[in-house]
Structure 1
C-alpha cells in the first residue's frame, strides 16, 4: 500500500468514478471514497484537505475498508492534520490594502490604472480595468497564473538541463492540495498557488517532478538524485509540511 503525497509520480489520469462509503476506525467514523484506476499498480490511500480516497487497481479484489483498518492510526493522524489546516486557513479579504504572499514575501494589494498587473515596489499592483471586468479575486488569481507559467517554465528549463531530462509541456492547474505532477507523456503540472511559496520551495517542487522523468517511484535513488541538485531539499519538504496553509488562496480551497 502506498500513501498520498502533495507531489505525485508520473501518472496519467485514467480513473473510474468514485463511490462514497464510511468505516469505523478505532472508534471513529471516517467517510471515504473508493476509486478504481486503470493506472494504479497497487492499492493506496490518498488523504488531503478534502477527504479520504482509497485508490485501487481496476482489477483488484481488495476490501478497501480492510485497507483502511490496517492503516487506521495513519489515516486518523492525517485527518487530524488536515482538520488543523482547515482551522488555520487564512481568512483573506479580496480588496485593496489586504496582503498576499508572492514568492514567500507578503505584498500589499493595490488596484490602479496600469497596462498589466505586476509586482512593483513591494506591492502587487492589479490593473484596474481587469478588476472592473471581473473582480479583485479573479484578477489576482489571473495574475498568479500568468506569473506561474513564466516563472515555472524558467525554473523547469533550468533544472531540466541540470538533471539531463526533457519534458513535454507545462500546465498550470487549479488543484487544491497537490503542488505538482508529472505524466507519462512528460507533461508537468503545477499548482498556480505555488507562486505564494518561497523560491527554494518552488524549485524543490519543480526538481521533484522533473526527477520523475528519470525515476517514477519515490525510491532511494529518486531522493538521491534530488539531493544532488538540491542538497537542502529537506528544508523545503519541511516547509511544505508545516506551512501549506499559507498557500490557501481562500476558503473555497477547502
Structure 2
C-alpha cells in the first residue's frame, strides 16, 4: 500500500492522527486501527472522502484507539542479551548464544549461533530465526487448512506489515506478519483460516464468518486475544 495523505481528527478530548493509503488489493474502504496507529485504506480509484469516513466512525475509532494506546504503554523494552525472554508460539523462551552450527529453537530457548551473531547482531540473527520458523509453520498450517477447506492458495510471503497480521491478494498470495509466530498456535490457525476463507468470500460477510466458524468454532476468542495481546507481539520499539 502507498501513503497518499495524512490527517487528524478531534474526538472529544483526543486528537487522533491517521494515514490514508491506496491499495490495489482492497475491495472496499476500511479503517485499520492497531498498536501502530490508524490507517484509512481506500481501494485504488475510490472517490470516498477519507476524512468523512473517519468522522462517520469517530466514536468507534476513539474506543479502538484508546485500547491500542494502552498496549503501546505496555510495550516491552528488549535488551537483546542472553537471558532475555521472547515469545514464540505462545510460550516465553530465553535467549542463548552458543557455539552451534545453526541458530535454532529448542525447548525453552532460542539458541543463536555465535558465529552468526558475530557476523551481524543478536537482533538481526534472532529476527532471521523467527522468520525461518514462521515460514515453515505458516506454510504447514496453510497446507493443512487449504486441503480441509478445498481451496488453492498462491504463494506465501512474510512481511513487515504495520497495520495487519495477514492479507490475501486477488492473485491468492497470502501475506503474513512474521511476528504472528509469537502468538499461540490456535491464534495462528485462526489467522490462517481467516485468510484462506477470503479465497471463497472476499468480504467479511455473514457467509465469510460462517466459513471461518466451520473450521475454527471459537474464532471470536482468538480475535479477542489478538486485540488484547498486541503488545506481547512487539519485537522492538521500531514496531511502534
TM over 0.5: yes
Given the alignment of the two structures, is residue 219 of structure 1 paired with residue 198 of structure 2, yes or no? Answer: no
* CA distance 1:224–1:57, change in 2 (3 Å): closer
Which residue pairs with 2:109 in the alignment?
Answer: 123
Which residue pairs with 1:166 in the alignment?
Answer: 152
Superposition pairs for residues 66-145 of structure 1, below 5 Å?
66-145=52-131
Question: Any idea what SS the aligned residue of 1:100 has?
Answer: strand
CA contact (8 A) 1:168 1:186 kept: yes
CA contact (8 A) 2:33 2:163 kept: no
Q: Which is further off, 136-145 or 44-53?
A: 44-53
**Unpaired runs of at least 5, structure 1:** 1-12
* CA distance 1:123–1:27, change in 2 (3 Å): closer
Higher relative contact order (CA closer than 8 Å, sequence separation 6+): 1
Which residue pairs with 1:20 in the alignment?
Answer: 6
- State the TM-score, normalized to the length of structure 2: 0.92
Runs (4+) off by over 6 Å = none
Superposition pairs for residues 193-232 of structure 1, below 5 Å?
193-232=179-218
What is the deviation of 1:247?
Answer: 0.6
Given the alignment of the two structures, is residue 252 of structure 1 paired with residue 238 of structure 2, yes or no? Answer: yes
Count how many residue pairs are aligned between Structure 1 and Structure 2: 240
Which residue pairs with 1:47 in the alignment?
Answer: 33
CA contact (8 A) 2:33 2:65 kept: yes
* CA distance 1:70–1:121, change in 2 (3 Å): closer
- State the TM-score, normalized to the length of structure 1: 0.87
CA contact (8 A) 2:7 2:51 kept: no
